[in-house]
Each structure stands twice: as C-alpha cells, then as structure tokens.
C-alpha cells in the first residue's frame, strides 16, 4: 500500500474525530451565546444568571455519559485546558477522552486491512506510527486551539478596555459596564465577549466579584488578563478611580503589543539567513557566474 494513501487515511480519521468534537462543542457554545443580549433584543434576567455547568447536555453527550466510564472525564487540569480551548460544557472532558480512545483504536483498525499484504516490518512501523498519531492528534488539536484562542483574546483586550472606560466614566456600574461591553464586542471579539458574560452571570448569581474576576483568568490563561484582574481588584479595594486604571492599562497593552511586533520584525533577518544561503545565493551565483564560467571553460578547452 503506498505511503501517501496511508497518511491520507490517518489524516481522514483524525479530521473526522476533530470535526465531530468541534461540532458538538460549537453547537453548545452557540446556544450559550445565543442567550446573550443582542442589539435591540430583550432578554429574561433569569437567563443571565445560569451557570455554564448547569446547562442541559446534548443528546450525544448524555449518551456518552451513560456508555463510557465517568472516570475518563475526571481531572481538573484536563477540564481547565478544554475550557481554555473553548470547550466549556460539563461533558467536554468525557467527550474528549472518548474521541481520543476512538482515534487510538480506530486508526490501527482502519489501516490493518490495507497493510495485510505488506511485510511484517512495514506492518509494525505503520501500526506504531498510527498508535502514536491516534494518541497525539487530539492533544495537538486542543493545544493549538488553546494557543489560537488566547491570541485572539489577547488582541481583543485593549478594545474591550476602551469601551469599559467609556462606560465607567459615563457613570455606569462595573457589572453593568461588563455586560454592556460584552454585548458590543460580541460580533468582533466573540471569545472575550463570552468570557465577560460568564463573569456577569457569576456576579448576578451571588459569586463575589473578586472570585468571578479571578475565574476570568483561570478560564482563559492569558497573562494580560491576570494582570488586569489584579489591577481591578486592587483598585476596588483601595477606592481609586478604576476608569483611570483601565485607561492606563489599555495604553500599556498597546505599547507591549507594538513592542512585540517590533521584536518579531527584528528577528526577520536572522530567519532569512538560512533560506538566503541555501536557496537564493546559489541561484544568484549561478546566474552571475555562469556565463563567466562558460567563457573560462572555452578558453582553457574544458568543453
């Protein structure tokens, strides 16, 4: 069996597993965000205090809960990682563990008929690689999704802070300002809007504001949000102007982002050094020195 076909089968199984998992989590998240306050639409106040963990699981998730052992979904570290990846449903860890087990067993089983006529060494090689791929693909997907989501949240924090400053300086309370900002940025910065809504629901449900704000960092893992939460908590404790604090912090974040871009731009010459030496300079030398080399060869009768 050709190796490209084997790799294609592996990628197809991994893509199917990831697509199923993403569809389930995306559908649940769409239902949650659908209850948020859209423009010109009223919402029942009771819907704003419902915690995400108390939502009704989907039919597939309930089926998995009854079929597989509940111990597969245990572990606070796994739940935190999935939450930071955007999969915040109560059954997300159990679904993730089930899909990981399916890919681990399904890849070798799918490749077994294709490798029946191959040698024993090829069978062992592809079988071991399929096991590794089946175990590592879900982990890689979740880690990459966490990184991309954190980057989107990091880029959206300064814009949200500007709107938050405007609301607070207009005399709106902090809780109402958080809710208003989450509604305004929902179309542009969906991830941060959803997390701000979670903070608003928790405070409306009676959770202390300090604990709800610290949960914002736990759910995202973005260092900028951790510093922002600490600054807001200290400002509230000491009675300082939170609007001025947020404005200064927004400017600080923009300056850090500009410095990060300048740092990446400064590394470009180093990154271009090896492609320049390996690919560009040989072709340049061939074009420049080629005619001269041919003429020298004719002179010394080398052709």
Whether residues 144 and 182 fall in one domain: no
Whether residues 130 and 159 fall in one domain: no
Q: How confident is the model at residue 70 (pLDDT cuts 50, 70, 90)?
A: low
Residue where a domain stops, chosen among 148, 174, 207 = 148
Give me the DSSP letters along 79-111.
Answer: HHHHHHTT--STTHHHHHHHHHHHHHHHHHHHH
Are 94 and 70 in contact by the 8 Å Cβ rule? The answer is yes
Whether residues 169 and 41 fall in one domain: no
Question: pLDDT per residue over 253-268, tens digit each?
Answer: 888 888 888 888 888 8
DSSP three-state, residue 68: coil
Q: Is the pLDDT of residue 5 over 80?
A: no
Whether residues 173 and 234 fall in one domain: yes
User: Quick check: is 128 in a domain?
Assistant: yes
Whether residues 24 and 130 fall in one domain: yes
User: Quick check: is 283 in a domain?
Assistant: no
Q: Mean pLDDT, the chain, as a whole number?
A: 75
Whether residues 51 and 186 fall in one domain: no
Lowest mean pLDDT among 27-31, 102-106, 217-221, 236-240: 27-31
Residue 113 DSSP class = T
| Domain that residue 26 falls in | 3-148
How far is 160 from 167, CA to CA, in rounded Å? 11
Residue where a domain stops, chosen among 117, 148, 179 = 148
Other Cβ atoms less than 10 A from the Cβ of 136: the count is 14
User: Quick check: is 302 in a domain?
Assistant: no
For the full predicted model, state whether its pTM sits above 0.85.
Answer: no
Whether residues 11 and 136 fall in one domain: yes
Whether residues 243 and 118 fall in one domain: no
- Domain count along the chain: 2
Q: How far is CA 95 from CA 73, 104, 232, in A?
A: 8, 14, 36
How far is 144 from 126, CA to CA, in rounded Å? 25
Are 179 and 37 in contact by the 8 Å Cβ rule? The answer is yes
User: Quick check: is 274 in a domain?
Assistant: no
Q: What mean pLDDT do residues 273-282 have?
A: 85
Whether residues 143 and 194 fall in one domain: no
Highest mean pLDDT among 93-97, 190-194, 297-301: 190-194
Question: pLDDT per residue over 194-224, tens digit each?
Answer: 888 888 888 888 888 888 888 888 888 888 8
Q: Please, how many CA atoms are within 13 Å of residue 19, restricted to the half-sphere of its CB? A: 6
User: Quick check: is 117 in a domain?
Assistant: yes
- From the list 194, 200, 215, 195, the residue with the least C-alpha distance to 167 is 200
Q: Is the pLDDT of residue 90 over 80?
A: no
User: Quick check: is 44 in a domain?
Assistant: yes
Predicted local confidence at residue 37, as pLDDT: 42
User: Quick check: is 263 in a domain?
Assistant: no
Q: Please, how many CA atoms are within 13 Å of residue 136, restricted to the half-sphere of its CB? A: 8
Q: What mean pLDDT do residues 127-143 have?
A: 82
Whether residues 157 and 221 fall in one domain: yes
Q: Where are the alpha helices (DSSP H) in the chain?
A: 3-34, 59-67, 76-84, 92-111, 120-169, 174-184, 190-204, 209-220, 223-238, 242-275, 281-299
Question: pLDDT per residue over 12-65, tens digit each?
Answer: 666 566 556 666 655 655 555 554 444 444 344 334 334 444 444 455 556 666
User: Quick check: is 112 in a domain?
Assistant: yes
Comparing 187 with 301, the larger pLDDT belongs to 187
Whether residues 88 and 197 fall in one domain: no
Q: Is the pLDDT of residue 135 over 70?
A: yes
Residue where a domain stops, chosen among 148, 164, 194 = 148
Q: What mean pLDDT do residues 54-79 have?
A: 61
Residue 43 DSSP class = -
Residue 277 DSSP class = I
Predicted local confidence at residue 40, as pLDDT: 40
Tokens of 249: 């912090």
Q: How far is CA 27 from CA 22, 86, 140, 185, 233, in A?
A: 8, 12, 22, 20, 34
């Amino acid at each position: 069996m050709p190796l490209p076909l084997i790799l294609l089968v592996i990628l197809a199984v991994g893509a199917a597993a990831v697509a199923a998992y993403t569809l389930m989590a995306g559908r649940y998240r769409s239902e949650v965000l659908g209850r948020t306050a859209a423009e010109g639409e009223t919402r029942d106040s009771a819907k704003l205090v419902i915690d995400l963990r108390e939502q009704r699981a989907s039919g597939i998730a309930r089926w998995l809960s009854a079929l597989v052992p509940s111990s597969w979904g245990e572990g606070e570290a796994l739940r935190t990682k999935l939450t930071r990846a955007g999969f915040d449903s109560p059954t997300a860890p159990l679904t993730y563990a089930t899909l990981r087990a399916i890919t681990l067993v399904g890849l070798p089983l799918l490749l077994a008929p294709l490798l029946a006529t191959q040698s024993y060494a090829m069978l062992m090689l592809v079988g071991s690689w399929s096991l590794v791929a089946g175990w590592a693909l879900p982990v890689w997907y979740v880690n990459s999704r966490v990184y991309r989501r954190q980057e989107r949240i990091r880029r959206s924090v300064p814009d949200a802070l500007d709107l938050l400053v405007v609301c607070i300086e207009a005399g709106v309370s902090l809780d109402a300002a958080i809710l208003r900002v989450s509604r305004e940025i929902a179309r542009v910065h969906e991830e941060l809007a959803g997390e701000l809504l979670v903070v608003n629901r928790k405070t409306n449900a009676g959770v202390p504001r300090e604990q709800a704000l610290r949960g914002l960092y736990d759910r995202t893992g973005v260092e900028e949000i951790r510093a922002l939460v600490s600054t807001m908590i200290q400002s509230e404790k000491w009675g300082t102007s939170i609007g001025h604090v947020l404005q200064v912090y927004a400017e600080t974040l923009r300056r850090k982002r500009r410095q990060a871009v300048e740092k990446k731009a400064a590394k470009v010459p180093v990154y271009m050094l090896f492609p320049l030496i390996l690919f560009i300079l040989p072709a340049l030398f061939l074009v420049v020195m080629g005619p001269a080399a041919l003429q020298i060869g004719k002179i010394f009768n080398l052709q």
